[in-house]
Amino acid sequence: MTPYYTDGQIMIFHGDCREILPRLGTGTVRLVCTDPPYNVSLPDADITVEDRKDIQRDFGQWDQAWSPDLLLAESARLLYAGGSLLSFCSDKLVSSYLTDGLKHRGTLVWEKTDPPPNFRSGYVSATEWIVWCQKIGAPAVWNGGGAVRNILRYPIVKGNGSARLGHPTQKPLGLIIELIQRHSDRGDMILDPYMGVGTTLRAAKDTGRRAMGIELDERWCKLAAKRLGQDVLDLDYGDPHVV
């Protein structure tokens, strides 16, 4: 396969992950960290409020009628023994990640410190779920020290500045960096089969990991490649394996 982008550390493949994943080598990935479709899109449900930017709730057809079956099966094949799958999902899909191919290790919660407002009576949606599954056969990589709370608190990516790249479900870079550091070591291969604008790949590059990303929409591939072409940030993220 010819990458859409590569710099020797990070690769992007433009195409359908259903076609590309089966072509990747068995047992070549330490961590699958991804943000697949949630089935939470609400057609024609965007909210317009005077003097405010529209709140997007209709994400398009790609966010509807999705099943994690392929992701789970290919993760079980591609991961090293002890490797992990971290997948964002909705509360309606958590039970779909209980599979014989991987061991369910738990569910994390991303608490949004500044969630979008709710203009109707009821609860404001301020959380997203992250399922952790592990391939059995070896201990899981764990760089979190001892036991840590399963809640990660980060603001959403918003605005029109350099951080916000236009993808409707873009995740905070700091959140992905924290997940990658806990569940992989420097030099490990990270895979994101639903890459979007490449936040997982950018986090991998900044923390000394290798990574592969797959994305169907060339708009996001182009933005991710531009993002990855920037210099690695000279920051200390508290990685226990920084040398």
Please tell me the predicted confidence (pLDDT) of residue 240.
40
Give the start-to-end residue ranges of the domains of the chain: 5-228
Q: In what order do the strands lie in the sheet with 29-34?
A: 5-6, 10-14, 210-215, 189-192, 29-34, 79-89, 127-134, 103-112, 151-154
pLDDT of res. 161: 52
Looking at the chain, how many residues does it have?
243
- Give the span between the Cα atoms of 19 and 36, in whole angstroms: 16
- pLDDT tens column, 97-149: 988 889 999 999 999 999 877 777 888 889 999 999 999 999 999 999 999 99
Q: Which amino acid is at 91?
A: D
224 within 8 A of 171, measured Cβ to Cβ: no
Q: How many helices (H) and strands (E) does the chain have?
A: 5, 9
CATH number belonging to the domain at 5-228, selected among 3.40.50.300, 3.40.50.150, 3.30.465.10, 3.40.50.460: 3.40.50.150
Residue 117 DSSP symbol: P
Four-CA torsion 128, 74, 174, 45, nearest 10 degrees:
-40
Predicted confidence at residue 49, as pLDDT, reads 46
**pLDDT tens figures, 142-187:** 999 999 999 999 999 876 555 666 777 899 999 999 999 999 999 9
pLDDT tens per residue across span 31-85: 999 999 864 444 444 445 455 455 444 445 545 567 899 999 999 999 999 999 9
Q: Are 206 and 178 in contact (CB under 8 A)?
A: no
